[in-house]
């Protein structure tokens, strides 16, 4: 069981949750902003955009491997210290990348920042539910998860706009400075965070024996790869419509992020009402359609503006049924399966630059959304296959009220890298995944 914080002072708790959300905002913005400044980095470092995009593969691969290891190797490490050190590693890696004279040093900086993210994200996600009483732990995850939502909605477009005005290196240094400030706030104000009970590697691996879990994780990796192959190379996809103007690209990313906020708010109640299977079919199918339309309308800025906003809605909505399904398969192991969910997402992110580079080499920017559509369609098939055959019960796809007897809380965003350390707070996870990103 996860130890619960004995004191729930309203102002202090709000400040502590804000620090956790701020840390996730920095990590999320650090990851997402690369898409908007990809051309500038490639030009400055004297390399190609696919080569710079490979740093995203390294970043995601490191987080995918290191995040689970944090819980295995450091189960009793003070959570506050892990979060502060994670922020300092993010800052250090970002500074290295900002001053990089070439691609090798840039990638090395990104790997260092990834190690910081691997320490921070699962620790902050696991700690959040301990800061509020049991009946309000879903809200705690919602608030901290908002950090990632805002990173996509505000952080990435703002960073892209700043880079267009003063250069990508200044953007990276600004992020590093924010990480240092937050590290100081964490060290001085976050206070003691109760540690969770350690979970053995064998128990973590045990949940993968269920084919239904594996199929959901496969769907997660595929839909994440499909989304990121378009997002990472959004500058190239939109170049004909924006003329390479970073400010116009920032506007497109802002519209996407705003759509994401709407999608996050809508997807939870819809999944609660209709269940994860039909919601996934509609949201993922809509995502495939948006990608096809992006390929057809890549030269029209007005069309891209509309499509980016719709894309944000359906992309954020498409992942909610995945989390809902994982919780429904076996609520008792939901924390463990959601830990693997995070790993699957990072696997998808790691594969996206490779898929994007192949698409660009095969037919240019127009092939990017088509590659995304293909991966997303496979994700839809994998998810639906999980309901075929023995071992499936109808209740797994039912609305939340029919499976848990609980009602949804406020809309939330389940952050990337959610830790399997949250296994001791299943009720909180159920609440957040029903209504989260």
**What's the burial of 390, exposed, middle or buried (CB within 10 Å: 0-12/13-18/19+)?**
exposed
Query: Which pLDDT belongs to residue 63?
Result: 87
**Band (192; pLDDT cuts 50, 70, 90):** confident
32, 348, 367, 421 from 362: Cα distances, Å: 25, 20, 8, 42
9: three-class secondary structure by DSSP: coil
**Band (195; pLDDT cuts 50, 70, 90):** low
Tens of pLDDT, residue by residue over 216-235, are: 999 999 999 999 999 999 99
Q: Is the pLDDT of residue 420 over 70?
A: no
Rounded Cα distance, 70 and 318, in Å: 28
Structure tokens at 332: 């008792």
Q: Is the pLDDT of residue 432 over 60?
A: no
Which CATH superfamily does the domain covering 10-435 fall into? MFS general substrate transporter like domains (1.20.1250.20)
pTM: predicted TM-score of the whole model, two decimal places: 0.79
Share of the chain above pLDDT 70, in %: 84
Q: Which residues contact 147 (CB under 8 A, 6 or more apart)?
A: 20, 21, 22, 23, 24, 25, 28, 415
Distance from CA of residue 305 to its chain's centroid?
Answer: 23
**Band (393; pLDDT cuts 50, 70, 90):** low
Tens of pLDDT, residue by residue over 105-114, are: 999 999 999 9
**Band (424; pLDDT cuts 50, 70, 90):** very low
Average of pLDDT values for 299-310?
Answer: 96
Average of pLDDT values for 157-178?
Answer: 93
Average of pLDDT values for 235-250?
Answer: 91
Q: Is the pLDDT of residue 403 over 70?
A: no
Angle, vertex CA 380, rays to CA 63 and CA 368, nearest 5: 65
Tens of pLDDT, residue by residue over 276-299, are: 899 999 999 999 999 999 999 999
Q: Which residues contact 118 (CB under 8 A, 6 or more apart)?
A: 62, 63, 66, 67, 69, 70, 86, 417
DSSP 366: T
Higher pLDDT, residue 419 or 253: 253
**Band (400; pLDDT cuts 50, 70, 90):** low
**Band (417; pLDDT cuts 50, 70, 90):** very low
Structure tokens at 336: 């463990």
Domain boundaries, the chain: 10-435
DSSP 389: S
Query: Which pLDDT belongs to residue 201?
Result: 74
Q: Which residue has the tokens 């809605």?
A: 313
Query: Which pLDDT belongs to residue 242?
Result: 93
Rounded Cα distance, 286 and 146, in Å: 24
Distance from CA of residue 191 to its chain's centroid?
Answer: 26
Distance from CA of residue 389 to its chain's centroid?
Answer: 31
Query: Which pLDDT belongs to residue 153?
Result: 83
44, 50, 58, 408, 435 from 273: Cα distances, Å: 50, 42, 39, 10, 11
| CB distance 416 to 342 below 8 Å | yes
404: three-class secondary structure by DSSP: coil
Tens of pLDDT, residue by residue over 70-80, are: 877 877 788 88
Long-range contacts of 239-245 (CB under 8 A, 24+ apart): 239/365, 240/298, 240/299, 240/365, 241/298, 241/299, 241/300, 241/301, 241/303, 241/304, 242/301, 244/39, 245/164
Q: Is the pLDDT of residue 103 over 50?
A: yes
**What's the burial of 233, exposed, middle or buried (CB within 10 Å: 0-12/13-18/19+)?**
buried
């Amino acid at each position: 069981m996860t130890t619960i914080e004995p004191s729930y002072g309203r102002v202090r708790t709000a400040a502590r949750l804000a620090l956790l959300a701020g840390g996730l905002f920095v990590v999320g913005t650090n990851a997402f902003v690369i898409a908007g400044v990809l051309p500038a980095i490639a030009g400055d470092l004297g390399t190609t955009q696919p080569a710079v995009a490979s740093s995203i593969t390294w970043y995601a691969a490191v987080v995918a491997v290191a995040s689970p290891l944090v819980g295995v190797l450091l189960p009793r490490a003070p959570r506050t210290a892990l979060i502060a050190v994670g922020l300092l590693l993010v800052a250090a890696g970002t500074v290295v990348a900002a001053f990089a004279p070439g691609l090798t040093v840039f990638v090395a900086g990104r790997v260092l920042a990834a190690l910081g993210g691997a320490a921070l994200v699962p620790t902050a996600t696991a700690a959040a539910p301990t800061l509020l009483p049991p009946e309000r732990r879903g809200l705690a995850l919602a608030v901290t998860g908002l950090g990632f939502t805002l990173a996509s909605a505000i952080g990435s477009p703002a960073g892209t706009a700043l880079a267009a005005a003063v250069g990508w290196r200044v953007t990276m240094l600004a992020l590093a400075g924010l990480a240092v400030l937050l590290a100081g706030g964490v060290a001085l104000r976050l206070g003691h965070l109760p540690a969770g009970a350690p979970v053995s590697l064998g128990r973590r691996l045990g949940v993968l024996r269920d084919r239904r879990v594996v199929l959901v994780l496969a769907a997660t990796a595929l839909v994440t790869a499909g989304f990121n192959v378009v997002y990472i190379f959004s500058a190239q996809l939109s170049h004909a419509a924006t003329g390479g103007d970073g400010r116009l690209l920032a506007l497109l990313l802002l519209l996407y992020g705003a759509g994401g906020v709407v999608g996050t708010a809508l997807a939870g109640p819809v999944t609660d009402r209709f269940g994860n299977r039909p919601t996934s079919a509609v949201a993922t199918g809509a995502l495939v359609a948006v990608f096809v339309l992006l390929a057809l309308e890549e030269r029209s800025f007005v069309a891209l503006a509309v499509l980016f906003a719709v894309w944000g809605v359906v992309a954020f909505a498409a992942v909610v049924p995945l989390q809902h399904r994982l919780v429904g398969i076996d609520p008792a192991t939901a924390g463990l399966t959601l830990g693997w969910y995070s790993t699957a997402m990072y696997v998808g992110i790691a594969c996206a630059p490779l898929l994007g580079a192949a698409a660009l080499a095969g037919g240019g920017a127009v092939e990017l959304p088509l590659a995304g559509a293909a991966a997303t369609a496979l994700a839809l098939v994998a998810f639906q296959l999980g309901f075929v055959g023995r071992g499936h019960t109808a209740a797994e796809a039912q609305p939340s009220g029919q499976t848990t007897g609980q009602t949804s809380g406020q809309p939330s965003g389940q952050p990337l890298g959610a830790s399997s350390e949250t296994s001791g707070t299943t009720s909180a996870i159920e609440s957040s995944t029903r209504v989260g990103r």
